[in-house]
């Protein structure tokens, strides 16, 4: 089944003909999951997204589908058990996009994770996983870890444990769920921004951000799954409420593997403040992340600052002292906002990662918080709580997943790829891991996309320039 600009155009033309059962605002992993669940349960559903599918937090994560080992310290046993169950299901439903990787958790002298605490945590983690557990954890002595990961710090090492969790391509997982929603009958409209409410919340005015034209869409229920844009949209819709979202910024930096030669993921704590972090293999590269700081500026333009990069480099250089890195070694960065439930007075790292669903009006539900791993659980809770007549839930089948598109044409015709940035940043890995972040391909990609999408020269240049700005923003830490 196609999933292209032509589908988008025809859907826009028919938008005002009949009301929908459900309008979902936001096409990140949460909104895409809700749309898929709703369409499968027989609801006539439309998804509105002002940017690309997964253009916000859902393409700027640590790219993990995991049980959340660190949540055991917060006694969030239910969240961990739920997460490992979902991890298992996603491994089955999208094996091309979710795969197991080895993690190293090391205990050093003086660290808050003693060897005994580490072993206990592993035992609890496995018990909570039950039949969904992955490979059995292995305890390693210092000399064994030195053979396994020679780049890791040996000084002060007491013991280590190797366990398994899962990694994903977050942008393509979100795209895959959105495409599954489309195949189930949902109308998916990226680059369509909600700009106002007409006659209450069940009739919305939207703007096509590609053409500038405006349309109306109506529905009996609205779900706001807009992540860090939630409070901004509530204000636009005329809903008075206290601040629901505490946006905290997470920054990642990326290096070529040969400069940061760690073959397994490493769960570590920052030497400055003890914050939990990861060192992650990512294809041909190594990623260090993430920060967790309150964000008070505009939510649309995020970047890694020099301070962020220095903070992450200090952690990497502490754990890999024989392979020190500097700012000039960074090939890419990305930053995203966690839409955490607002808990005033708590430091960012102590705020719950659990989700919250609120009914702010008879026709309006809002979801904030949550994790990528548990998006299906959140979707099910939202849809069953709408009060609409639903068909029986079916057993989850495989997602229409693919690791990468075979060509620009495939991305345009089958993956709703509408701009050069969509292709180089989210349909492929060029933005993150390309030697020049895809700048060497940008004109060729724009030329081919222009032929498929009917761009003139002026629009082709606009799309190229927009991508160049994205790359420049990701390099702002050097300023």
Q: Identify the pLDDT of residue 196.
A: 95
DSSP readout, 10-22?
A: HHHHTTTSS-EEE
Contact 231, 243 (CB under 8 A): yes
Question: CA-to-CA distance for 226 and 48, rounded, in angstroms?
Answer: 10
Average pLDDT of span 203-209: 96
Average pLDDT of span 213-227: 97
Number of C-beta neighbours around residue 367 at 10 A: 26
Q: Identify the pLDDT of residue 60.
A: 96
The whole-chain average pLDDT of the chain stands at: 94
In the predicted structure, residue 200 carries a pLDDT above the cut 90: no
Question: CA-to-CA distance for 438 and 428, rounded, in angstroms?
Answer: 10
Percentage of residues in the chain having pLDDT higher than 90: 80
In the predicted structure, residue 122 carries a pLDDT above the cut 90: no
- Cα–Cα separations (whole angstroms), residue 296 to 246, 247, 252: 9, 8, 19
Those residues whose C-beta lies under 8 Å from the C-beta of residue 390, and which sit 6 or more positions away, are: 41, 42, 43, 383, 384
Q: Identify the pLDDT of residue 245.
A: 95
For residue 187, give the 3-state DSSP assignment. strand
Spacing of C-alpha 211 from chain mean position = 27
Which is more confident, 240 or 422?
Answer: 422
H helices present in 130-236, as ranges? 142-148, 170-183, 230-236
| Residue pLDDT, tens place only, 187-198 | 999 999 999 998
Contact 266, 278 (CB under 8 A): yes
Contact 38, 16 (CB under 8 A): no
**pLDDT confidence tier of residue 266, bands split at 50, 70 and 90:** very high
In the predicted structure, residue 153 carries a pLDDT above the cut 80: yes
In the predicted structure, residue 386 carries a pLDDT above the cut 90: yes
Percentage of residues in the chain having pLDDT higher than 70: 100
Peptide bond into 290 cis (omega under 30): yes
| Residue pLDDT, tens place only, 67-118 | 888 788 777 888 888 999 999 999 999 999 999 999 999 999 988 778 888 8
For residue 205, give the 3-state DSSP assignment. strand
Tell me the β-bridge partners of 332.
254
Which two structure tokens, joined as six digits, stand for 127? 């018990």
Which is more confident, 76 or 39?
Answer: 39
Question: CA-to-CA distance for 14 and 368, rounded, in angstroms?
Answer: 31
| Residue pLDDT, tens place only, 396-433 | 778 888 889 999 999 999 999 999 999 999 999 999 99
CA nearest 383: which of 19, 44, 3?
44
Tokens 């490992």 belong to: 84
- Cα–Cα separations (whole angstroms), residue 346 to 293, 342, 357, 433, 442: 12, 9, 20, 35, 43
In the predicted structure, residue 207 carries a pLDDT above the cut 80: yes
Distance between the two ends of the chain, CA-based, in angstroms? 45
Question: CA-to-CA distance for 253 and 478, rounded, in angstroms?
Answer: 12
Q: Identify the pLDDT of residue 306.
A: 96
- Cα–Cα separations (whole angstroms), residue 205 to 202, 220, 228, 374, 465: 10, 15, 21, 31, 29
């Amino acid at each position: 089944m196609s999933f292209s600009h032509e589908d988008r155009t025809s859907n826009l033309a028919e938008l005002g003909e009949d009301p929908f059962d459900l309008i979902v605002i936001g096409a990140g992993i949460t909104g895409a999951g809700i749309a898929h669940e709703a369409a499968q349960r027989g609801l006539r559903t439309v998804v509105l997204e002002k940017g690309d599918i997964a253009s916000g937090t859902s393409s700027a994560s640590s790219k993990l589908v995991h049980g959340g080992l660190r949540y055991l310290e917060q006694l969030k046993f239910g969240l961990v058990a739920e997460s490992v169950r979902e991890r298992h299901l996603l491994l089955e439903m999208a094996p091309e996009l979710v795969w197991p990787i080895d993690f190293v958790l090391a205990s050093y002298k003086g660290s808050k994770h003693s060897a005994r605490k580490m072993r206990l945590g592993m035992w609890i983690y496995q018990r909570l996983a039950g039949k969904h557990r992955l490979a059995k954890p292995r305890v390693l002595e210092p000399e064994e870890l030195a053979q396994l990961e020679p780049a890791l710090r040996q000084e002060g090492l007491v013991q280590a444990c190797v366990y398994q969790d899962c990694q994903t391509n977050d942008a393509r997982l979100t795209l895959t769920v959105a495409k599954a929603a489309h195949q189930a009958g949902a109308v998916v409209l990226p680059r369509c921004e909600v700009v106002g409410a007409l006659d209450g919340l069940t009739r919305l005015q939207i703007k096509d951000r590609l053409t500038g034209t405006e349309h109306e869409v109506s529905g009996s229920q609205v779900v706001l799954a807009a992540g860090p844009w939630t409070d901004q949209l509530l204000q636009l819709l005329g809903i008075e409420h206290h601040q629901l979202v505490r946006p905290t910024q997470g920054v990642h930096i990326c290096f070529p593997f040969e400069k940061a030669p760690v073959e397994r993921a490493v769960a570590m704590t920052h030497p400055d403040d003890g914050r939990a972090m990861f060192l992650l293999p990512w294809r041909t590269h190594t990623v260090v992340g993430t920060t967790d700081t309150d964000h008070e500026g505009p939510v649309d333009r995020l970047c890694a600052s020099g301070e962020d990069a220095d903070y992450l480099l200090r952690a990497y250089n502490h754990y890999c002292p024989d392979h020190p890195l500097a700012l000039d070694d960074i090939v890419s960065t990305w930053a995203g906002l966690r839409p955490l439930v607002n808990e005033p007075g708590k430091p960012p790292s102590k705020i719950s990662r659990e989700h919250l669903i609120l009914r702010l009006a008879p026709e309006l539900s809002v979801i904030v918080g949550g994790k990528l791993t548990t998006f299906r659980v959140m979707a099910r809770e939202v849809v069953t709580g709408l009060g609409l007549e639903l068909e029986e839930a079916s057993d989850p089948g495989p997602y229409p997943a693919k690791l990468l598109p075979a060509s620009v044409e495939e991305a345009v015709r089958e993956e709703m790829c509408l701009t050069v940035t969509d292709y180089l940043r989210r349909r492929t890995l060029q933005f993150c891991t390309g030697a020049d972040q895809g700048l060497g391909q940008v004109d060729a990609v724009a030329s081919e996309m222009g032929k498929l999408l009917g761009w003139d020269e002026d629009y082709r240049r606009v799309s190229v320039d927009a991508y160049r700005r994205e790359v420049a923003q990701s390099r702002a830490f050097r300023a």
